[in-house]
Structure 1
Amino acid sequence: MSSPPWDYIAKLVCIGDSGCGKSSLTIRLCEGRFSPQHDVTIGVEFGSRIVPVGPPHSKPPAAPKSDGGLPEPPRANTTPQKHMKLSLWDTAGQETYKSVTRSYFRGASGALLVFDITRKATFAHVTDWLSDLRAIADPDIVVILVGNKLDQAQPSEGQESKREVTEQEAEEWARRNGVLQYVETSAKSGENVEEAFMRVAERIFENINAGKYDLNDRRSGVKGPGPGAVGKQVPLLGDSGRGAAAGGCC
């Protein structure tokens, strides 16, 4: 009986106004591609990917220096690599589906709060999205603010930047509202997409080690494989499950 290719499953939701690129970010992470044309999400769509978390994947702290000013020799790392399956719930951003969308916040351990840096109105609405999320989700949910469409904010030959939200004001909003971090991404080029998801995954892993989740309770948003669980080997960087819910997930 083989072991699952993951140690934990974590439920992440992508929330924000319609047209911000939530679906494109999910497709980029799960399938490694960009689709310029995408139907409006109705309700929720699903994706998944297995990622490494914790050491030795995580960068270890700098080695202390010896008395002679030279760094200590590296120590052998015997820690087995842990893997987390991110179960991604790509939610609808239209007001029409908001009551349905809110129901998917329950049981989420992480959230990407997405806005379009070329549309100021989408940034103005992130406060409402965060308020809805925190009213329903677990108090310990890990939230990251994502400013998408960075490719359109960078001026190119013969074309001015379309940026309407500065990096500084988004970072300030994240600090004021207790959000983990602000990251600017481009689903089109792939820039910083993995960083955004991995930052959430690493913080969830830290919370697991701190004992913040009951891994036997589906409502916690995180679970372990459980005794006797069997999993099919899935490539580390290509575990795409978009379009179908992950069975037995959070």
Structure 2
Amino acid sequence: MAQPENDLGAGQHEPHGGALGPRLNWLRAAVLGANDGLVSTAGLVMGVAGATTSRSALLTAGLAGLLAGSLSMAVGEYVSVSSQRDSERAALRLEQRELAEEPEAELAELAGLYEAKGLPPELAREVAERLTEHDPLAAHADAELKIDPDELTSAWQAAFASFASFTVGALFPLLAVLLLPTDARAPGTAATVLCVLLLTGFLSARLGGAPPGRAVLRNVIGGGLAMAVTYGVGELLGAAGV
């Protein structure tokens, strides 16, 4: 009998133990930051390179783009994750109050949730009682809210990951456009960026347990289009003397 296909490769195992959520949150912020750093900085310096050959103009534009982008990514990620954390905490406080004020109603609600998942009524009630005896808030937060009270998302961690990954990603096109000779800047920078985008797409897919093909294709096509458009605009503006 043919085995059902899945996205996990041979020798890989489905993640357990609650480690997948925090890892995916960190991975999301890091990969988004690196790709943004690569594409936005590459687009910026390629646009400037299309308009001028001045290294000082390229350095100024590249550093300004790197600093502005990394800080913007960090602040945006911090605000976003802080809002999510505030919502999670508010939901947990409400759940804790309900457990204190209406324990029997909450126990019946928890049993109903497990019964809705397919457990017989008696077993659902027993499971709810056992979990409530162990840690009532954790039991209800997991079943009702899909939240682990001990593993709330860290805003600072996400912000730092975005800042650092954007900076690392931005350094590749910036160094390439500054170090390569004038006649090789555009193709050399484009080749460097596309290679790094291929690598980040592959790594993000592998770490997340997903097929790498789609992630690599998205990264390479998106980055290539961004660089082509901005370089073309830079050339047009440079030719027009703007």
Normalising by structure 1, what TM-score?
A: 0.25
Normalising by structure 2, what TM-score?
A: 0.25
Q: Which has the higher helix share?
A: 2
Larger radius of gyration: 2
More relative contact order, 1 or 2 (CA 8 Å, 6+ apart): 2
Q: Which has the higher strand share?
A: 1
